[in-house]
Structure 1
Amino acid sequence: MQHPQEPTIGTFDFVIVGAGSAGCVLANRLSADGRHSVAVLEAGPEDRDLWIHIPLGYAKLFRKGTVNWMYETAPEAELNGRRVYQPRGKVLGGSSSINGLVYIRGQREDFDHWRQLGNPGWSADDVLPYFRRAEANVRGADDQHGGDGPLSVSDPHTHELTEAFIASAVHEGLPRTRDFNGVVQEGVGYFQTTSRRGRRCSAAVAYLHPARRRGNLTVITEALTDRVLIEDGRAAGVVFRRGGVEQLVRARREVILSAGAFGSPAILQRSGLGPGELLASLGIPVVKDLPGVGTDLQDHLQARCVMRCTRPITLNDMTTSLIGRVRLGLEWLLTRSGWLAIAAGHAGAFFRTDPRLATPDVQVHFIPFSTDRMGDRLHPFPGFMAHVCQLRPESRGSVRITSRDPAAPPEIRMNYLSTETDRATLLAGLKKLRAILHAPPLRPYVAAEVEPGPEATDDAALMAHIRARASTVYHPTSTCRMGPDPRAVVDERLRVKAMPGLRVVDCSIMPSLVSGNTNAAAIMIGEKASDMILEDARAA
């Protein structure tokens, strides 16, 4: 590509695009020994917003454009043509600064499957040391968990409504568990969260901020990446916009994209690396025709149940008055506990919709408050809700840029529920969840079922509810998929195929979606990638 005329602000060994979950890990690990200079470009601002650091503050950030990309999908055919809102973090820490804090790694079988797809070094036994290295679990270290890593993992406070939910799930045949991240995932219990003494422990808090005192690490915020600079057949730097001015930062060794499942493929496409027909249609010179860039998009779709509670013991009841809201704030400020310290899933469950399955195929999030839509006001009545999602969807979507302008949002097509397996699994999961919510231990707390509602008495009515109300669990992955097949974008060392000096390190490289929340796996990917990058640098 033609040499740009933008001013060069510096040359570094490594240039990382995106200070999200994986990017913050890379920034810390690559700069740790002082041998390499590292620059991090983040499109959003510093993470100074108070709501970022209050765990329940994610509700205040759900539609806050200063720290959130606020994407949405194209109309989804199987969801009555609805567009599905897709929040993504645009701030130091990325989505780990605005997410629901739930710490779930996924099943061992997920990573063994990655290895079976032709990705050596990514089996469950291979990645476990990186999960453990990252983790500072409040329970201490053991053979499955770390005790002194950067990422704090804590236990939540208990609540009688949540205890009743857990007891109901046990009544319906699920074992109670203390650890969804051990050898066996199946069961019901409290979620552990990425928090530390009542404050969010984002990737920026855990990894980036402790490293910023280093002289060899430069963090540039409000830097919107346009494209990768390619010279003499290799990645040589990054062109970005800051304050309305295009600038260039150069990389001696590597450019590393950590811009997420939507951002990384879009940057590759604007750089001339992607489906040739798409690039040509937008007037972008095709550097390498890589048809897999932006394909194989996967996500978790969730269906919900909303219940009216018989007693004023939910968060809803604390927010109906100014006095209640003040009490909430004071409790958190003085004790770093209470309602503002809970996550977007207080407790959860993993179960199989078919006993013939080897592992759980659905996940439940239980929350002791209720709302019509995440980010909206809570209901004026006592309420709670639970969501169920299919863990391993067959539906596949795409991310395609619509313009050469880096500020233009890409076209996101999820194609939710486009296979019969996906429809049948989510329906079966919803029916099981409904049975749990009406089981004897919870029955004294249930005044009425608000959604799907008592009129939903058959499968057709429940599917109609799913199509009308189902939404994302915010886990997009796999748009720069790792693998040996021709449509894969990166190899097992996360190097972009046919483009030296360029890697992708974020959830977009997942060969398949993990069975659970994705933040823990994103941090693991950053940990493992940092070792591979440093190994390759030493061998060069």
Structure 2
Amino acid sequence: MQTYDFIIVGAGSAGCVVAERLSANGRFSVLVLEAGGTDRRFFVQMPLGYGKTFYDPKVNWNYKTEPDPGLAGNADHWPRGKLLGGSSSINAMVWIRGHPADYDAWAAAGNPGWSFADLLPAFKAIEDNAAGADRWRGSGGPVHVTDCSAAVHPLTKRYLTAAEQAGLPVNPDFNGASQEGVGIYQISTRNGRRMSTARAFLRPAMKRPNLRVETGALATKILFEGRRAVAVEYDRNGTTHRVGAAREVVLSGGSVNSPQLLQLSGVGPAGHLKALGIEVVHSNDNVGRNLEDHVGINYTFKGRQATLNQLLRPWWGKLWVGMQYVFLRSGPLSLSMNNAGGFFRTDPALDRPNMQLYFQAFSTVIPKTGERPILTPDPWPGFSIGLSNCRPSSRGEILVRSKDPREYPRIVANALSTDEDVAEMLAAVKFVRRIAAQPALAEFIVEEILPGPSITSDEDLIQDFRKRSGTVYHPVSTCRMGPDPARSVVDPRLRVHGLEGLRIIDASIFPGNISGNTNAPSIMTGWKGAQMVLEDWK
């Protein structure tokens, strides 16, 4: 059995960072096991191509939740990246760190080293911001962050003015001194191409002789000697392989795959594992539990003048934007669909924003089976204002269904399952309508398409957002960090409680969700976690 110093399971948003950091000094041999394949695909590299990867089984796990009462019985679609770069290779690229108070709450819960002041150096180190370095932002790091202000659709300026008329300040940088307000989103791209962690971290590191990356390698089990993780079993092309870990196994599978692999390996809720015939190595009821996710909805409007719909839908428009992208790496295909957005409070008494906004200068009301129709929008001038909650109180769980590693786990999201989350969402959708009613947008709008002017009562608004809401793809906390083994899975240094030689470094360790998109915090977690590994083995 071949042995490496470190085995990293998962080449995703965090795993690629861990691989680069652990292999950088040349002292350690590192193996990365990735169940998916290459990220060198046109629609992966083209920023707006993520509409094409939204259901593509070649690059996407395509998970589905259990029917959710909070979402009117709908079974929600959960895309997760199944390729080098993981979900950073198929996401919407919006670069948000979260509110400083989010991380200060992590530290206050007994996790030293995880306050915002502790983490700001890591955030700055991973970043190459197009605007340059300042007190808050970094330059020269692996991840290029692009300012899209000059490239967004002109309708975006109307949205910003309307939001300002509704009482929100215009904010030039959500990752700067303040998060609250509205503004243009910065995205993780460089020269018109997606800046995934595969591109930023892993591919440069793959030139090193001490790093090996295996694609198409589905990890099926962690092997233990007593309470120490010593090896990983994986399947590749129908053949079972075993590789040894002389120092540590690092799980970076994300909020679905990390708890799944732990449970398959006998680490998790003992009663559930025994019922499936899985031998229990270590009992911990928190593995797969405490699932948090952001839930969102769009309000869609018909406009009086052309939006991106009229450019992206016709063949000649597709030809034009395609030539723009191929020859100049510019135009709509070089951007995210979320041109702008913001953060606001549904209650002025709150200490920080609890809702996130998204503005899209096109609409996709008319469905297209099996594809997210970003590149085939509606035939009429449409645009959407979306929102999602930042710190929901609803909790779900992810548990394996059987001993078969190829069978998808049971995902119970429990979205909008608390009165608090429902009341918050009700206040938020009313605020979206308030923005749309301001002069800057009202003079442009012909009518509200979804949910439509007939939906006015609180009861109808709640019924509507239960039917139309869904994940905004930010699941966290299924292997959450904390000092108490009775309430968490990993300690503040990301070591699995009760076991040796095993860490988890990905978004599943978040003690609670952050206010905003989770990709930048996942990358930061990879950086911070790798630093801890190196400190412990120096």
Q: TM-score, normalised by structure 2?
A: 0.97
1:331 is matched with 324
Residue 3 of structure 2 is matched in structure 1 by 11
Q: Aligned residue for 2:452? A: 453
Distance 1:195 1:480 in 2: 30
Query: Which residue number corresponds to residue 21 of structure 1?
Result: 13
Is 1:317 the counterpart of 2:310? The answer is yes
Corresponding residue SS for 1:494: coil
Q: Distance in 1 between matches of 2:313 and 2:265?
A: 50
| Counterpart residue number, 1:375 | 372
Once superposed, what is the RMSD of the aligned Cα atoms? 1.0
Alignment gaps of 5+ in structure 2: none
Q: How far apart in 2 are the matches of 1:307 and 1:334?
A: 33
Q: Give, in angstroms, the shift of residue 369 of structure 1.
A: 1.1
Between 1:395-404 and 1:228-237, the stretch displaced more is 228-237
The alignment covers a number of residue pairs equal to 529
Whole-angstrom CA distance in 2 between matches of 1:47 and 1:39: 18
Q: Which runs of 4+ in 1 moved over 6 A?
A: none
Does the 8 Å CA contact 1:68/1:90 hold for their aligned counterparts? yes
Counterpart CA distance in 2 for 1:236 and 1:43 is 20
Structure 1 residue 188: Cα displacement: 0.3
Is 1:362 the equivalent of 2:355?
Answer: yes
Whether the 8 Å contact between 2:153 and 2:308 is mirrored in structure 1 is: no
Please give the alpha-carbon distance, in whole angstroms, between the structure 1 residues aligned to 2:394 and 2:350: 19
Residue identity matched to 1:350: F
Letter of the 2:68 partner, please give it.
E
Corresponding residue number in structure 2 for 1:186 = 180
1:87 maps onto 2:84 in alignment: no
| 8 Å Cα contact 1:168/1:439 also seen in 2 | yes
Q: What aligned pairs does 1:164-183 form with structure 2 within 5 A after superposition?
A: 164-183=158-177
Structure 1's unaligned 5+ residue stretches are 1-7
- Structure 1 residue 315 displacement after superposition: 2.2
Instruction: Determine if contact 1:105/1:516 at 8 Å carries over to the other structure.
Output: yes
3-state SS of 1:442 partner = helix
How far apart are 1:457 and its partner, in Å? 1.5
Alignment deviations for residues 207-249 of structure 1 (CA, whole Å, 9 cap, x no partner): 0011111000000000111111112320011111100111111
The alpha-carbon deviation at position 390 of structure 1 amounts to: 1.1
CA distance in 1, matches of 2:177, 2:10: 32
Q: Match of 1:307, SS?
A: strand
**Structure 2 counterpart of 1:523, which letter?**
I
Separation in 2, partners of 1:504, 1:344: 32
Which of 337, 346, 360 is the aligned partner of 1:353?
A: 346
Cα distance per residue 1:92-145 (max 9 Å; x no partner): 000000000000000000000000111010001001110000000000111111
Are 2:23 and 1:31 equivalent residues in the alignment? yes
Q: Is the 8 A contact 1:11 1:252 kept in 2?
A: yes
Worse-matched range after superposition: 153-162 or 36-45: 153-162
Instruction: Find the partner of 2:99 among 107, 113, 118.
Output: 107
- Displacement of 1:445: 2.2
Cα contact 2:71–2:470 (8 A) shared by 1: no
What is the aligned partner in structure 2 of residue 60 from structure 1?
A: 52
1:124 and 2:132 correspond: no
Matched residues in 1 for 2:330 and 2:463: separation?
39
- 1:310 CA displacement: 1.2
> How far apart are the structure 1 equivalents of 2:377 and 2:61?
23
- The answer to whether structure 1 residue 141 and structure 2 residue 133 are counterparts is yes
Match of 2:535 in 1: 535
Are the equivalent residues in 2 in contact too, given 1:101–1:344 (CA < 8 A)?
no
8 Å CA contact 2:346–2:355 kept in 1: the answer is yes
The CA distance in 2 between the partners of 1:125 and 1:332, in whole Å, is 39
Matched ranges for 1:120-269 at <5 A: 120-156=112-148, 157-269=151-263
Instruction: Tell me how far apart the structure 2 counterparts of residues 294 and 52 of structure 1 sit (CA, whole Å).
Output: 29
Given that 1:303 and 1:426 are in contact with CA atoms closer than 8 Å, whether structure 2 keeps it comes out as: no
SS of the aligned residue for 2:58 comes to coil
| Match of residue 520 from structure 1 | 520
Q: State the distance in 2 between where 1:501 and 1:474 align.
A: 30
Kept in 2: contact 1:43–1:91 (CA 8 A): yes
The one-letter code sitting in structure 1 at the alignment partner of 2:50 is Y
How far apart are 1:183 and its partner, in Å?
Answer: 2.5
User: How much identity, in percent, do the aligned residues show?
Assistant: 48
Q: Deviations over 1:240-296 (max 9, x none)?
A: 110011111111100000000000000000000000011101100001111100000
Deviates more, 1:95-104 or 1:178-187: 178-187
Q: 1:457 to 1:232 in 2, by over 3 A?
A: closer
Deviation at 1:335, TM superposition (A): 1.2
**1:440 alignment counterpart:** 439
Partner of 1:385: 384
Q: Distance in 2 between matches of 1:241 and 1:307?
A: 49
Cα distance in 1 for partners of 2:177, 2:108 equals 19
Q: Contact 2:55/2:372 (CA < 8 Å) preserved in 1?
A: yes
1:293 paired to 2:287: yes
Take 1:237 and 1:135, find their aligned partners in 2: how far apart are those partners? 34
User: With structure 1 as the length reference, what TM-score do the two structures score?
Assistant: 0.97
Aligned partners of 2:162, 2:335: CA distance in 1, in Å?
21
1:305 CA drift (Å): 0.2
2-structure distance, mates of 1:25, 1:79: 35
1:4 corresponding residue in structure 2: none
- 2 CA distance for matches of 1:487 and 1:191? 36
Distance in 1 of aligned mates of 2:349 and 2:438: 24
Rounded to whole Å, the distance in 2 between the matches of 1:436 and 1:227 is 51
CA–CA distance in 2 between the matches of 1:206 and 1:333?
Answer: 21
Distance across 1 between alignment mates of 2:478 and 2:343: 26
Whole-angstrom distance in 1 between the partners of 2:166 and 2:315: 39
Contact 1:102 1:344 in 2 (8 A): no
Asked whether 1:508 is paired with 2:508, we answer: yes
SS in 2 for 1:365: strand
**Secondary structure of 1:12's aligned partner:** strand
Q: Cα deviation per residue 1:397-435 (whole Å; 9 max; x = unaligned)?
A: 000000111111100011011111100101111110111
CA distance in 2, matches of 1:21, 1:80: 32
Is the 1:93–1:204 contact (alpha carbons within 8 Å) kept by the matching residues of 2? yes
